[in-house]
Structure 1
């Protein structure tokens, strides 16, 4: 019997055909679903990983709003040239608190998974105001208005509360003080700065990111977010060090 003859016979037996489709689809579904039962074995441990501060959450929201993820990935692959250029390859745990994930695959601009601390705040501000001032060959558009836009921070507590519902361990105190902490992180000389360090740790970046203390802008938030990328945990660097031994 030819292949087409077999196919015609199957079409005549609708119930059999439906059962065959279900069977094949079930195999595909099992292949995709089964690994989820071993997720605890594939996601690395990072007990000292910290959460994003309210200001960094706001910056991440702006990053998404402006479509920055369309040109910058946040996933360093295990390829040698990528590791040599960007640093240790990305681990699953590093995106543990990212909702949504921003791994990406498009690189009109460089990967920024380990951008934090690579450049100064002043560099980032200049780059966002006019990218060609610091990277002459850049095709990135400017975002100078971010420095003129005051950051809306009164609803950041709601953002943190929503993130807690999907597994980010924000405390009631963090949620209640979200607006104050967003201001305090960008105003190092204000009394609110102490609260940020108390709730998020000594390693938290507390400074006037856009160079204008006392005035909270969207530029502050975006630079604060960019400066923490790759620094929520050092798990990747430990993995790279152990692999080199």
Structure 2
């Protein structure tokens, strides 16, 4: 076997061909199952899509590169379950485009972060991480609290996701900007509409702390508070 490998190394084109064959087999094994994912992955009955405000927060989360340091995938290892909670199910991410499972753990996994900390904690952490976690190496994002949230493109984003199978109805799409604002203003006339369109479990409150302004902080905190709370499937013992 070693002699075969040695002879193959002496023939550069043969070695290149062998590498291509090996890589192709590995790629086929990983990629082929994705073509049947629609047949094998069934969304939980109680899974809801992100609200417009949470969706905007998710886009900011991706824009700022948060996914590069935080995974959203609790593995089936005992120590991970003890630390983070129930292991992640593929079905929980049925409406995620792109999915953010990942494997990078510079910071803790965020799959079950929803409602673990208060909105004020998240806002303070994003403005100055070391104010609440002295040993943190996370960069600060103070501009989120000062930047008004842009909502004009939310309907178009949701319409695109609807084409990919996310259950955003015409009514949800048409009311995207209004619902994003209303979710952060519980006393507004549109707050009831958010609950009607996305369910009573959706949190409606001033996530960034100031109900008179809708900022990117509201959106990011709303998104973080939704993680692990879009379905109860992972907590179902059956």
- Alignment TM-score, normalising by the size of structure 1: 0.85
Aligned to 1:102: 100
Write the distance in 1 (CA, Å) between the matches of 2:166 and 2:189.
27
2:183–2:204 CA contact under 8 A, matched in 1 = yes
Write the distance in 2 (CA, Å) between the matches of 1:32 and 1:156.
33
Aligned to 2:169: 171
Aligned to 1:135: 133
The runs of at least 4 aligned residues of structure 1 exceeding 6 Å deviation read 20-26
How big is the shift at 1:201?
0.7
Matched positions, count: 234
Which of 61, 64, 68 does residue 62 from structure 2 map onto? 64
Structure 1 alignment gaps of length 5 or more: 12-17
Write the distance in 1 (CA, Å) between the matches of 2:181 and 2:28.
48
How big is the shift at 1:26?
7.5
Aligned to 1:119: 117
- DSSP-derived class of the 2:226 partner: coil
Q: Deviations over 1:14-66 (max 9, x none)?
A: xxxx9x99998886565345534654675355111001000000000000011
RMSD between aligned alpha carbons? 2.8
Match status 1:88 vs 2:86? yes
Aligned to 2:190: 192
Aligned to 2:72: 74
Write the distance in 2 (CA, Å) between the matches of 1:64 and 1:102.
9
Q: Tell which structure's C-alpha radius of gyration is larger.
A: 1
Write the distance in 2 (CA, Å) between the matches of 1:230 and 1:121.
16
Structure 2 alignment gaps of length 5 or more: none
Write the distance in 1 (CA, Å) between the matches of 2:26 and 2:103.
24
Aligned to 1:206: 204
Write the distance in 2 (CA, Å) between the matches of 1:217 and 1:183.
10
1:44–1:91 CA contact under 8 A, matched in 2 = no
Instruction: Evaluate the alpha carbon distance shift between residue 23 and residue 137 of structure 1 in structure 2; reply closer, same or farther with a 3 A threshold.
Output: closer
Q: Deviations over 1:88-130 (max 9, x none)?
A: 1100011111111111111111000000010000110111111
Write the distance in 1 (CA, Å) between the matches of 2:229 and 2:19.
47
Write the distance in 2 (CA, Å) between the matches of 1:170 and 1:145.
30
Write the distance in 2 (CA, Å) between the matches of 1:37 and 1:125.
40
- DSSP-derived class of the 2:62 partner: helix
Aligned to 1:216: 214
